[in-house]
Amino acid sequence: MGERVALNILARCSGIASRARRLRALADQNNFGGVVAGTRKTTPGFRLVEKYGMQVGGADTHRMDLSSMVMLKDNHIWATGSITRAVAEARAVAGFSIKIEVECQSETDAMEAIDAGADIVMLDNFKPEQLAVAAQSIKAKCQSFQKQVLIEASGGITEDTAAQYMGPGVDIISFGSMTQGVPHVDFSLKIAH
């Protein structure tokens, strides 16, 4: 009985590692010096196995769990009334040592997040052309204000579309598809006799 469980875990982890390796290779082929990362979207009870697969494949885990970084999504912003207030409240609780990332739907949102003190802005569900323009514009504005910020591209990016997102100004590309719908690697265990 343990044999099938072990093979299934190995097959799942290997599928994730294989996809992570292909995505990292694609980044290298496109001279993308940024981070290729997974997302928080892991299978319940399998987070450590899946995050290990990402690492083995050459991808970043993004964050190991909810305590690794504050991520402010649309619901957090709506609940507090603004990006500025959401970042301030998160910083008051998280302290100086925890990074804060804000999910942004526009360049205006990103600049508000940066002005409020966010460390990372996630440009979510941008089309490749929109992302290229916004990322370079945000980086230029930050440079003129001497602010440091990381820009993450996320939302619907797949192995087939990834190269279109690998441009200047983008520091991180995160892939929910690294763990979602990934094919398993087929293994069998045969005892020699």
Nearest-Å Rg of the Cα atoms of the chain is 19
41 carries an active-site annotation: yes
What are the residues facing 36 on neighbouring strands? 173
The set of residues, in sequence order, having a beta carbon less than 8 Å from that of 187 and lying 6+ positions away, is 7, 10, 11, 14
What token pair was written down for 168?
Answer: 């200047």
Picking from 89, 136, 81, 78, the residue whose alpha carbon sits closest to that of residue 110 is 136
Q: State the catalytic residue, choosing from 41, 99, 141, 147.
A: 41
- How far is Cα 77 from Cα 74, in angstroms, rounded to an integer? 5
State the Cα angle at 123 between 120 and 125, rounded to 5°.
150
Catalytic positions, written as ranges: 41
